[in-house]
A and B are shown apart, each in its own frame.
Chain A
Amino acid sequence: MSTQTEGLTVEAVYEALDTVKDPCMVAGGHDLSVLDLGLVYRVEVQGDGRVRVDMTLTEVGCIFTHRVFGEVYDAVEALPGAEEVEVVPRWSPVWTPEHLNPKARRALEGSRNAMFRTIKRRGLENAQS
């Protein structure tokens, strides 16, 4: 990973990537980005404004593949100083839940606990009816 010069930095690219939300997480009510899910493997910024982002998806052949990669292009290409952007899909290493950052882990665990509470409550209501 290299941080480069005038304007465009690796940090700025990461900030841009943090605005790209995972569509399945959004559908599930979670404001989680591709960074939160640990989908980004590597960011490289060259002095001449070339940017390379190596990333994966939670599933090989994900139905939202083109949408997510397209949004990553949009977000990074909008950065001042980004002259040429390359998003490199990588299916290896395969993504696992171990890649989640603490924020995503907490959100999904909270969601799972809420789901279990709902199921339990419904079960009790059904038993009492």
Chain B
Amino acid sequence: MATDQLVIDGVCHPYNFSEENLRGRFGRIFNDVLYAFHPLLTPPEVALSKDEWQHDWQNDEFMETMLLESETDMVCVHSTPIFDAYFDGLVSVEKGADLKRRYPDRAIWYASADIFTGEQALQSLEHQIAELGADGIKLYPAQYHRGRTRYWRMDDRVLTWPVFELAMEHGITNIVIHKALPLGPVATEAYRVDDIGYAASEWPDINFQIVHAGYMFADEAKFLLLNYPNVYATLEATFLFCQFDPDTFTKVLGDFLIYGGPDQLIYSSTATVIHPHYLLEAFRNFELPEDHPAGQLTDEIRQKILADNLARLHGIDLEERKRKLEDDEFARQRNGNGLREPWSTLRGQEVTA
């Protein structure tokens, strides 16, 4: 940002949006709905065409896009087991593990598995954590399969308690659950947030991040923030309101600040659906109304949202990390050339802005 503080993107992905990866109509609609955000949030002169956007992002170009085309300094990537819409799940475990291996100081990675597979899921998660270095676990609450919906709840002791036990055994204290935005024609009950309180209460040493918190069920989410200090709002997609609907962003962010406070909110860009440069710019220019009961968005509060909170959840000392990053390959390129034009890496035209 404008300050010399780091920015950690709480959720961004090297997606595989390619046509070949789409599974049936569900995959098609999934891609189409996500792409619809792109022209809405990108200046027309740089917006990607649908063909450009439907890309199988490789880790190198993803990292260069995030770190050399925006003020992002670190990324948190979740692997996604959305096998009902994408053949490789959309963000494969392999990509996540490769990011973690090659960019350990720049990337945080959350493992993922299909929780319905029981013991197989546990084995996979253990492998991703113990062998591949995952820093957290990402879960999805529902699946669409051949016209039927299957879903589970976070407070289902049979399904989720073994996952939490496994996490604790391996020192993993971040469990992330996709909520609020249904994936596919699934039961919307699964996307409510009323199942998180019990889990958060029973597992006080685990931090539960609600991904997309505030996009729907914002009232329920704000009371969770109020009641449980180990519940966090990870604002993927919700943060986009900052660009296309500032009134809603004011309402959601304001409520979350009042009920939860600035220590429980995590910035997320939703890249590469959109470009993080424009979102960070919008947030830099965003202010709460003067008389808002949450007060003003001070630099300190912004910094908590943009980096401090997620760093704290992962035990990252930001001053130490900053020193570590100040002369790596990305820092050298950014310092030498300035930021690149948005999407220039993807287009193979790495030009400085």
B189 to chain A minimum Cβ distance, whole angstroms, is: 11
CB neighbours (8 Å) of B26 from chain A are 66
Q: Counting CB contacts under 8 A, is B245 at the interface?
A: yes
Q: Which residues of B contact A67 (CB under 8 A)?
A: 185
Flag whether B29 is at the interface (Cβ < 8 A). Answer: yes
Contact B182 A63 (CB under 8 A): yes
Residue pair A66, B244 in contact (C-beta under 8 Å)? no
A61 to chain B, nearest CB (A): 6
Q: Is B215 an interface residue (CB 8 A)?
A: yes
B29 & A91 in contact (Cβ 8 Å cutoff): no
- Which of the residues B25, B184, B245 comes within 8 Å of A60, measured between beta carbons? B245
Q: What's the dominant secondary structure at chain B's contact region?
A: helix
Q: Which residues of B contact A73 (CB under 8 A)?
A: 25, 29
Q: Does the CB pair A70–B33 fall under 8 Å?
A: no
Contact partner, A70, options B29, B36, B188, B244, Cβ 8 Å: B29
Please state if A63 and B244 are interface contacts (CB–CB under 8 Å).
no
Taking CB atoms, residues of chain A closer than 8 Å to B181 are 61, 63
Chain A residues whose CB sits within 8 angstroms of the CB of B32 once the complex forms: 69, 87-89
A38 to B5, CA, bound (A): 46
Complex contacts, A64 vs chain B, CB 8 Å? 182, 188
- B29 & A90 in contact (Cβ 8 Å cutoff): no
Complex Cα distance, B243 from A91, in Å, reads 13
Question: Which one of A60, A67, A73 has the highest number of Cβ atoms from chain B below 10 Å of its Cβ?
Answer: A60
Report if B40 contacts A (CB, 8 A). Answer: yes
Is B39 at the interface (CB under 8 A from chain A)?
yes
If A69-B29, A73-B25, A87-B29 touch, whether A63 touches B36 (CB-CB below 8 Å) is: no
Q: Which residue of A lies closest to B35 (CB)?
A: A89
Nearest neighbor of B237 in chain A, beta-carbon distance: A61
- Per-residue CB contact flags for chain B residues 1-45 toward chain A (1 = under 8 Å, else 0) read 000000000000000000000000110011011011101100000
Q: Check A113 for interface membership: any CB of B closer than 8 A.
A: no
**Once bound together, how far apart are the Cα atoms of A92 and B243, in whole Å?**
13
Contact indicator B36/A66 (Cβ below 8 Å): no
Residue B164 is within 8 A (CB to CB) of chain A in the complex: no
A65 at the interface (CB under 8 A from B): yes
Contact B36 A90 (CB under 8 A): yes
Is B216 among interface residues, defined by CB-CB distance under 8 A?
A: yes
Closest-CB distance, B166 to chain A (whole angstroms): 31
Chain A contacts of B29 at CB under 8 A? 65-66, 69-70, 73, 87
Task: Tell whether B53 is near chain A: CB-to-CB under 8 Å.
Answer: no
A62-81: CB near B (< 8 Å → 1, else 0) gives: 01111101100100000000
The answer on a CB contact under 8 Å between B40 and A91 is yes
A41-73, CB under 8 A of B: which get 1 and which 0? 000000000000000000011011111011001
In the bound complex, residues from chain A placing their C-beta under 8 Å from that of B40 are 60, 91-92
CA distance A61 to B183 in the complex (A): 11
Q: Are A91 and B37 in contact (CB under 8 A)?
A: yes
Q: Which of A66, A87, A92 lies at the interface centre, i.e. has the most chain B CB atoms within 10 A of its CB?
A: A66
| B245 CB contacts on chain A under 8 angstroms | 60
Q: How far is the CB of A42 from chain B (nearest CB, A)?
A: 14
Measured between alpha carbons, how far is A125 from B183 in the docked complex, in Å?
Answer: 45
Interface centre among A65, A67, A88, A89 (most CB of B within 10 A): A65
A residues within 8 A CB of B37? 60, 91
Chain B min CB distance to A60 (Å): 7
- What is the distance, in angstroms, from B324's C-beta to the closest C-beta of chain A? 37
Minimum Cβ distance to chain A for residue B193 (Å): 13
Task: Beyond the given A60-B244, A61-B215, A94-B244, please list 8 additional residue pairs across the A-B interface where CB-CB is below 8 A.
Answer: A61-B237, A63-B216, A65-B29, A66-B30, A66-B33, A70-B185, A89-B33, A90-B36
Question: Which positions in A face B, CB cutoff 8 Å?
Answer: 60-61, 63-67, 69-70, 73, 87-92, 94
24 examples of A-B residue contacts, CB within 8 angstroms:
A60-B37, A61-B215, A61-B237, A63-B182, A63-B188, A63-B191, A63-B216, A65-B33, A66-B30, A66-B182, A66-B184, A66-B186, A67-B185, A69-B29, A69-B33, A70-B25, A73-B25, A87-B29, A88-B32, A88-B36, A89-B33, A91-B36, A91-B37, A92-B39
